[in-house]
Amino acid sequence: MPVPYQASDVATRRILRLALGTSLALWFSQALAWDMSFVAPILALTVLGLPLPALRLKAGLTIVFVLFVALNAGLMLLPVILNYRIAGILLLALALYWSFYFTARGGNPLLGTFATIGIALATAVGSVSLDVVLVVIEGVTLGAIVGIAFVWLAHLLLPDPADGSQAPTAPRPAPSTDLSEARQNAFRSLAIVLPVALWFLLSSQSAAYAAVMIKVASMGQQATNEATREAAGSLIRSTIIGGIAAVIAWQLLRIYPSLALYTLLVALAALVFGRRTFHGAGLHADGETWSYGFMTMIVILAPAVLDSATGASADVKFVDRLLMFAGATLYAVAAVYVFDAFRPGRPANENPAAS
């Protein structure tokens, strides 16, 4: 008779998968010297940071397909945005709103997150150069394929128990199916992401800070179904812990710049962050905050490593990204409080999941 698989064993296995899949995805893409090598580990940790069973082939291909479609949807918006500015911005807002509304209504948060990232990233970078956005679309799509491949590899090396004692768990509590509540949550997320996306549209440096746009897009999804206080606290904490981890790793890499050390640091960070992400058969009470904190670390650190490899002023850009993250987070927190202050029908500190 098989021994029952304990919940603590489930959490431990998920933590190890997070470390293995994310660090190997980073090592592989960095070893091949891709221009956007940080995409693969970010997408791998986005999937492995949720308490989900192994992705089926169809689910993995769907994630890649949704991201590819979203990137090309953003590309198709560019002519309208550049030539008919007001109409283009309205269409961009509508596309982003749909991605948030999809999640707020209970849709798969992975698909919602990748849709948001694809739309926001393509329009932000494409406003600078069409050639650059085509390179970004190719790099992000390739990164998604590699990221999902290493998710499968992590599950292959550390499979779920064969006795079926690990029941599939949802990544978050089911959000309210109330249409009005879902619409308001989606509008709040839009208030976080759209102004930053517009700033990127007007900036000539948006291509150099594409990783920042990925994080900002994920911020909107992070705050979709949380109450005001929880959303603001989660955004601030994830940025602080991710920023501190990135600074520590960057200083160590300056002492000994090595791909092996870089990979080990990411794996170690995954083990540390993973202990606060998973608990038992599900997420820790503050699990999403620590998962987004791990993403923040990689989004800040990985582009700086690429800058140092190309001879760019890596230290300056590292600090710039850190400051941009801090500014974007403060704006996101302010947007959440201001939006909810004028939001009808629910006090600012009430949790929508409890209604």
pLDDT of 81 higher than 90: no
pLDDT of 264 higher than 50: yes
pLDDT of 353 higher than 60: no
List phi, psi (to 5°) of 50.
-115, 145
Show the CA angle centred on residue 88, arms to residues 83 and 93, nearest 5°.
Answer: 160
CB 302 within 8 A of CB 37: yes
- 176-199 confidence digits (pLDDT tens): 557 788 888 888 889 888 888 888
pLDDT at residue 355 in the model = 34
What are the counts of helices (DSSP H) followed by strands (DSSP E) for the chain? Answer: 12, 2
pTM of the model: 0.82
CA-to-CA distance for 113 and 93, rounded, in angstroms?
A: 15
The most confident of the ranges 30-34, 256-260, 349-353 is: 256-260
pLDDT at residue 318 in the model = 81
* Three-state SS annotation for 155-166: HHHCCCCCCCCC
Task: Give the closest residue to 126 by CA, choosing from 94, 83, 172, 65.
Answer: 83
- Where helices occur in 203-258 by DSSP H, the ranges are 210-222, 228-255
Element (H, E) at 128: none
C-alpha distance from residue 44 to each of 108, 160, 238 (Å): 16, 17, 18
Greatest extent of the chain over all pairs of C-alpha atoms, in Å: 69
Two tokens at 263? 């990979």
In the chain the beta strands, taken as DSSP E runs, fall at 278-279, 282-283
pLDDT of 7 higher than 50: yes
